[in-house]
């Protein structure tokens, strides 16, 4: 158990509303990631963080923003949710060995439905 929790686990919202997903880790890892999983696409990187207040865009960042004010929390915000953002969202942390090929540990996921 890598000590990663995601909240909420399930959410249904309406188009145009803001949504924030939270990832919390207890392992004091530097690197954190947000992915979305969609059928036929596998997992795609949305944003990642390499330290407090240090974040960068991934492959599918349009419509998403992130914040990391504390080591343990990485927030993903949909400023104005759209139906295309209906997905399962996974948070991950990078192993602390610090070398190439570090494993990433994944949280349990958040299933988001935008109506």
Partner 1 sequence: AQSVTQLGSHVSVSEGALVLLRCNYSSSVPPYLFWYVQYPNQGLQLLLKYTTGATLVKGINGFEAEFKKSETSFHLTKPSAHMSDAAEYFCAVSEDTGFQKLVFGTGTRLLVSP
List residues binding partner 1 (CB under 8 A): 4, 31, 33, 35, 40-45, 48, 50, 56, 58-59, 90, 92, 94, 99-109
Question: Which residues, in sequence order, are CB contacts of 39 under 8 Å at separation 6+?
Answer: none
Between the alpha carbon of residue 7 and those of residues 38, 59, 62, 74, 96, the distances in Å are: 19, 23, 22, 11, 23
Considering the complex, what minimum distance in angstroms separates the CB of residue 85 from partner 1?
A: 19
What's the closest the beta carbon of residue 35 comes to partner 1, in angstroms?
Answer: 8
Residue with tokens 């929790």: 5
Q: Which is nearer to partner 1, 32 or 114 (CB)?
A: 32
**CB 76, min distance to partner 1, A:** 15
């Amino acid at each position: 158990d890598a000590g990663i929790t995601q909240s909420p686990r399930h959410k249904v919202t309406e188009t145009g509303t803001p949504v924030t997903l939270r990832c919390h880790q207890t392992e004091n890892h530097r690197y954190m990631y947000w992915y979305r999983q969609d059928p036929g696409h596998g997992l795609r990187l949305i944003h990642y963080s390499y330290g407090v207040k240090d974040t960068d865009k991934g492959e599918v960042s349009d419509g998403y923003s992130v914040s990391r004010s504390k080591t343990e929390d990485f927030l993903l915000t949909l400023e104005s949710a759209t139906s295309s953002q209906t997905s399962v969202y996974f948070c991950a942390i990078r192993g602390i060995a610090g070398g190439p090929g570090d494993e990433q540990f994944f949280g349990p996921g958040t299933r988001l439905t935008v109506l």
